Structure 1
Amino acid sequence: MTGPEMNARVAKILVTAIAAAASVAACASRPGDAASAPDARVSGIVEANRTYPRWRDFPGVPAPLPADATLAVAGTRLDAGRTALARDAAAIDWTLSDPDAFAAVTRSRVDATGAAAVTQETAESLEVFAESLRERGRAPPPISRPRQP
């Protein structure tokens, strides 16, 4: 491109940019109808959020991480607790060698505690309620339909 062609092209771009800026400015400065619903709604949203964001809405500075020595001590304590737990779990007899004896001991402990009268009433009322639900759950008898000729 030669000098005059370049100047003409730059002038065209400049004129286009000025025209676009003028039209945008004209649209932005045009007063809107205050009674229109979208303008009122947008104005309400803008006014409600005019002070947002506030500094108190931003997260604070995070607390510094603990020192390596503190983490090492906590890790050692955790490992010791895990070892003690594994040792205690290994000492438990996980098989029930005599289930009848276990049941008898459990029944005697429960019988020694005794049940309050309210507990007995509750158990009886629950049984009555369960029976009423069973009755309601039964299917109704079939409907007899007249035969069609």
Structure 2
Amino acid sequence: MLTTESEGRNASPNLYETDAETYLQDHALGEEVFGPLGLVVRVSGPDEMETLARGFEGQLTCTLHMDEGDTGLAQRLMPVLERKAGRLLVNGFPTGVEVADAMVHGGPYPASTNFGATSVGTLAIRRFLRPVCYQNLPDALLPEDLR
């Protein structure tokens, strides 16, 4: 394990390594980290890789870095990963998120389908709205955009 010094709001990158058994026993290793940090989890083979994938919490994205020879293993992992994440990628890195019609939160239900459980995508604005009905109000009392 190699660590770097961080000062104030400047964070230097850190890369850590563990094995699947340790990862699955320590919930903190799977927590989200904001900043330049990587965790490599080493597995002994395909069976342990599938066990590891089954142990994942819900994620926004899952990425498979693979070549053609890994297709069989990827096919085995797909049914597991598509229940864990809202976006699956191969040999790439997920984009950031923005408020756009084509963007969804991803992740397990309800985040991917319920605007009340996400802050990503155009429907997310509903999460922060409180409807108000104006009945029989004269125009002078209505909000400007309703006049």
More helix by share: 1
TM over 0.5: no
Larger relative contact order (C-alpha < 8 A, sep ≥ 6)? 2
With structure 2 as the length reference, what TM-score do the two structures score?
0.15
More strand by share: 2
With structure 1 as the length reference, what TM-score do the two structures score?
0.15
Structure 1 or 2, whichever has the larger Rg, is: 1
